[in-house]
């Protein structure tokens, strides 16, 4: 199935209203956009996606659509309410991505990621009362914080750990056999609070979690065309349905 790049204009004021009405507000509208996309396009909603609220051409969302026919069918239906209709400002535009990738092809890239590492139940229980533990109870921790802990545990100075190097290594590992990094840099970093679903015995709930939010960019080379296609479709790392993990590609050297 051919992957398509979707560009969807977003009305930020309407999105804010949608988030407030449904109590879905967080630092970056990631959860509100997730909910709005699913409500509007169902299973064919773009995922992963990237929200660009301050773009010079106007606020919009870029995302990868795997089911073009399903997306078109959903887009042809009227939105379930005026509030949802107002969020998506205009007709979506879709372009087909390459049907096949070439091993050895080089591309410039940019990706917004949540660089966290996960741990098992035993470690999770031990961390609950530890100061400085990221995302308590979530079973994941900032990759930089985990690297600092490893260095300290081995008797080293955690202040020698370089955040950019940690995140670039984290990215290289998640590209795995799909692509190799020729060059990468950390272009922006902050910590954000987002909403996430939890699945408990009393039913699904949302909770607010805080964690790293990093923008990485550089140049990569396709190693395995099939694996690279699969990587684009699923995204890099976790939280692909909430605005993270979308690999944006461009010719090498293009900003």
With tokens 């970056």, the residue in question is 28
Q: How confident is the model at residue 194 (pLDDT cuts 50, 70, 90)?
A: confident
Evaluate if residue 199 carries a pLDDT over 80: no
Alpha carbon distance 227, 30 (integer Å): 27
Report the 3 state secondary structure along the chain: CCCEEEEEEECHHHHHHHHHHCCCCCCCCHHHHHHHHHHHHHHHCCCCEEEECCCCCCCEEEEEECCHHHHHHHHHCCCCCHHHHHHECCCCEEEECCCCCCCCCEEEEEEEECCEEECCHHHHHHHCCCCCCCCCCCCEEEHHHHHHHHHHHCCCCHHHCCHHHHHHHHHHHHHCCCEEEEEEEEEEEEEEEEEEEEEECCEEEEEEEEEEEEEEEEEEEECCHHHHHHHHHHCCCCCHHHCCCCCEEECCCCC
Helix axes 30-41, 12-21, angle to 10 degrees: 90
Average pLDDT of the segment spanning 26-54? 93
What number of residues does the chain have? 255
114 φ, ψ (degrees, to nearest 5): -110, 90
pLDDT tens sequence across 132-179:
544 444 578 999 999 999 999 999 999 999 999 999 999 999 998 999
Average pLDDT of the segment spanning 49-72? 96
More confident residue, 124 or 72: 72
pLDDT at position 130 is 57
Alpha carbon distance 146, 94 (integer Å): 39
DSSP at 88? B
Cα–Cα distances (Å) from 16 to 13, 32, 82, 197, in that order, read: 5, 8, 14, 20
pLDDT at position 57 is 92
Alpha carbon distance 126, 188 (integer Å): 32
Average pLDDT of the chain, as a whole number: 88
157 φ, ψ (degrees, to nearest 5): -95, 115
């Amino acid at each position: 199935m051919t992957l398509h790049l979707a560009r969807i204009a977003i009305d930020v004021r309407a999105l804010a209203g949608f988030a407030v009405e449904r109590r879905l507000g967080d630092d970056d509208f990631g959860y509100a956009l997730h909910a709005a996309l699913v409500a509007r396009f169902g299973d064919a909603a773009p995922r992963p996606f990237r929200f660009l609220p301050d773009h010079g051409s106007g606020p919009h969302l870029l995302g990868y659509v795997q089911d073009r026919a399903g997306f078109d069918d959903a887009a042809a239906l009227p939105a379930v309410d005026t509030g949802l209709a107002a969020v998506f400002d205009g007709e979506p535009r879709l372009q087909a991505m390459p049907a096949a990738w070439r091993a050895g092809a080089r591309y410039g890239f940019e990706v917004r990621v949540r660089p966290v590492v996960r741990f098992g139940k035993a470690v999770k229980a031990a961390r609950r009362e530890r100061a400085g533990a990221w995302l308590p109870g979530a079973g994941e921790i900032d990759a930089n914080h985990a690297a600092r802990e490893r260095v300290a545990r081995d008797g080293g100075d955690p202040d020698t750990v370089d955040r950019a190097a940690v995140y670039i290594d984290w990215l290289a590992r998640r590209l795995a056999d799909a692509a190799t990094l020729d060059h990468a840099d950390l272009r922006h970093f902050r910590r954000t609070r987002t909403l996430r679903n939890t699945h408990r015995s009393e039913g699904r709930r949302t909770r607010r979690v805080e964690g790293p939010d990093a923008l990485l960019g550089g140049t990569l080379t396709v190693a395995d065309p099939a694996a690279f296609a699969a990587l684009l479709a699923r995204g890099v790392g976790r939280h692909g349905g909430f605005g993270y993990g979308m690999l944006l590609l461009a010719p090498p050297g293009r900003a």
